[in-house]
C-alpha cells in the first residue's frame, strides 16, 4: 500500500499564514466585548495551543461564562472575513505541492479547529476547494482536535474501512500532534507554523517539515 494514502491537513499555520488576520480580529473582538485586548505575545501564546475561539477566550478571561464566550465568538466572526481577505496568504509552494500530491494519488482532506464556513470560504477564495475530498472543521456540538472522537465521529465516516495506518495528520500545533497520538495515526509537524516548538517536539512526530513543499520529499523517504 502507498505510504499514507490519506493526508489530513490542518489549515491555519499549515497551508495558510492566517496569524495577522487572527490577531487583528481578536483585538477587534475584545474591543467590541468591552475587554482590553491582551498583548500580541499573549495572544500568540494562546494560538500555539491550536484550540478554538471559545477555549482561547475562556483561557484569557477565566471568570467568563458561556454567554460571554458566545458573544465574543460572534464579534470575531463578524470581523474576520475582512481581515482574512486583506491579510491571509498561502505559504510558499502550497498550490504546487497540493497539485503534486493529487497527481501521486493522495487523498487530501482538511481537518481544522477553525469555523467550518470560514475555512470553506478561505480555501474557495484561494482556489483550493477541488483539491480536497472533504473539509472537517469546527461546527456546533461536534468535538475538536485533539479529542479522539473527531476521528471516530467525523474522519472515519468519510473513509470507511480505511485502517488508521492509512492516515497522516499534518499540522503545526500541539493540538494536531496530540490528536494524532490520541487516535493512533502518524503525525507530521509543520514546524514553520504557529505552534510551540518545545510542545510539538515533545510529542515526537514521525515527520517534521520546515516548509509545506518539504512534504513531497518526506513522503518519499
Q: List the domains of the chain with CATH numbers.
A: 6-17+89-220 (3.40.50.1000), 19-87 (1.10.150)
Give the pLDDT confidence score for residue 51 in this predicted structure: 84
Query: Diameter of the chain by CA atoms?
Result: 55
Q: Is 39 helix (H, G, I), strand (E, B) or coil?
A: coil
CA–CA gap between residue 128 and residue 89 (Å, rounded):
13
Share of the chain above pLDDT 70, in %: 99
Give the pLDDT confidence score for residue 140 in this predicted structure: 87
Give the pLDDT confidence score for residue 221 in this predicted structure: 65
Instruction: Please name the residue that has the C-alpha cell 477564495.
Output: 125
Does residue 109 register a pLDDT over 80?
A: yes
Give the mean model confidence (pLDDT) for residues 109-129.
96
Give the pLDDT confidence score for residue 2 in this predicted structure: 66
Does residue 133 register a pLDDT over 50?
A: yes
For residue 1, what pLDDT band results from cuts at 50, 70 and 90? very low
pTM: 0.93
Give the pLDDT confidence score for residue 45 in this predicted structure: 93
Does residue 198 register a pLDDT over 50?
A: yes
Give the pLDDT confidence score for residue 193 in this predicted structure: 97
DSSP assignments along 158-186, one per residue = GSTT--GGGEEEEESSHHHHHHHHHHT-E
Q: Which of 165, 101, 152, 134 is nearest to 11 (CA)?
A: 134
Give the pLDDT confidence score for residue 3 in this predicted structure: 87
Amino acid at each position: 500500500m502507498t505510504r499514507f494514502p490519506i493526508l489530513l491537513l490542518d489549515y491555519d499555520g499549515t497551508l495558510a499564514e492566517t496569524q495577522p488576520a487572527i490577531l487583528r480580529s481578536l483585538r477587534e473582538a475584545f474591543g467590541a466585548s468591552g475587554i482590553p485586548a491582551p498583548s500580541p505575545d499573549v495572544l500568540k501564546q494562546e494560538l500555539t495551543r491550536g484550540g478554538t475561539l471559545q477555549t482561547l477566550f475562556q483561557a484569557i478571561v477565566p471568570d467568563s461564562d458561556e454567554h460571554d464566550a458566545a458573544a465574543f465568538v460572534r464579534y470575531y466572526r463578524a470581523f474576520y472575513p475582512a481581515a482574512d481577505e486583506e491579510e491571509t496568504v498561502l505559504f510558499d509552494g502550497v498550490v504546487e505541492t497540493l497539485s503534486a500530491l493529487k497527481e501521486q494519488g493522495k487523498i487530501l482532506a482538511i481537518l481544522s479547529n477553525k469555523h467550518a464556513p470560514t475555512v470553506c470560504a478561505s480555501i474557495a477564495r484561494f482556489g483550493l476547494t477541488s483539491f480536497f475530498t472533504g473539509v472537517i472543521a469546527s461546527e456546533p456540538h461536534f468535538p475538536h482536535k485533539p479529542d479522539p472522537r473527531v476521528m471516530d465521529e467525523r474522519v472515519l465516516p468519510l473513509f470507511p474501512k480505511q485502517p488508521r495506518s492509512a492516515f497522516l495528520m499534518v499540522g503545526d500545533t500541539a493540538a494536531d500532534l496530540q490528536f494524532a497520538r490520541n487516535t493512533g495515526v502518524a503525525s507530521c509537524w509543520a514546524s514553520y507554523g504557529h505552534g510551540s516548538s518545545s510542545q510539538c517536539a515533545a510529542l515526537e512526530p514521525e515527520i517534521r517539515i520546515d516548509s509545506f513543499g518539504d512534504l513531497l520529499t518526506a513522503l518519499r523517504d
